[in-house]
Amino acid sequence: MAGEVFSGAIALSLKETLEEIITDQLDGVESDLDYTQWMLNRPMNDAYEDDQEYAGGGLIAEVPEGTELPPLTITEGYTKRYQARKFAAKYIITEEAMDDTKFPKVIQAIKRLKRSGWKTVDIDATNLLVRATNASFPGPDGVALASTSHPLAAGGTFSNMAATPMAPSTASWNAIIAQLDQLVDHDGIIQGYKAKAVLHPVQQRGIWTVLLGSKMDPEAGNFSAINVIKEYDNNIKRVQLRYWTNTTTNWAVQTDADNGFQMRWKKKFKSNTWIDHNAELMNYSISGRWDNGTSEPRCVLFVNA
């Protein structure tokens, strides 16, 4: 049967001369996740949940004394649906493999399944950024997560992409902050949002450590000036993402917009074991149900550098 672990497949573990087992890191996986640093964990109460966008009526009008007041309209926009998706896998191990293996560390089926599960969660979450500009993966408003043409419920569009994509620097940061300060709300009026984290591939660790941590301006020729990022935008979190592997140059600023990146759990990981007595097979399985995404594209300003 495909997927079974026979004693012959782990024959070297039967030898008494075996000293060490070289295998995957199986312990502490859950405590070393990326997604928990930039996504909100929350439960799902049903098989699916809907978030609904509404926009107000915009600005009020100046009216002459004694005239009728003009009405404003609340506009219904997009619907974001979170659908609980099931993820699962199992190991099938023969009784002979269980009996003959002198080193239980070779199998460790439950630990291996748990590792696979949490790695899947982290990669599934990071795919939101991997696919951020891909029109084949549209968000609830019909365009990619990072787009220059997000539709406004009351008419018009807005952008959550950097107007001028640049590599990380003081200049690019200042441009991003200015763009965030003038980002419009759902009714098309400037609201302004604050940066709270930088999301980036691991290759940018060095430059972001310098930009966010230096007391003085790290740019060449400006070492006597203050670092405006540290001075005015303090407490910006740096989140490096191991699984953001489709680029080394893109980066993103996570904002304080409500209903941003989130992981919704319908069922946290559950493990099962059972015996198929007919074939004398041990079965180990793990399964979980979740969905992730964002109900608010203003939660990120993406730099497609």
Instruction: List, for residues 39-60, the tens digit of each pLDDT value.
Output: 999 999 999 999 999 999 889 9
Domain presence at residue 299: yes
The CATH number linked to 271 is 3.90.1690
Q: Classify residue 15 by burial, with Cβ atoms within 10 Å: 0-12, 13-18, 19+.
A: exposed
Q: How many Cα atoms are found within 13 Å in the side-chain-facing hemisphere of 182?
A: 9
Domain presence at residue 186: yes
Domain presence at residue 118: yes
Domain presence at residue 240: yes
**C-alpha closest to that of 257 among 163, 158, 165:** 158
Domain that holds residue 266: 4-11+33-57+77-303
Compute the distance between CA of residue 140 and CA of residue 25 in angstroms, rounded to an integer: 37
Q: How many domains does the chain have?
A: 1
* % of residues, the chain, pLDDT over 90: 69
Q: Write the single-letter amino acid at 292.
A: N
Residue recorded with tokens 């699984």: 243
Domain presence at residue 260: yes
Residue 264 has pLDDT above 80, yes or no: yes
The DSSP output letter for 175 is: H
The more confident residue out of 219 and 277 is 277
Segment 201-217 mean pLDDT: 92
Domain presence at residue 162: yes
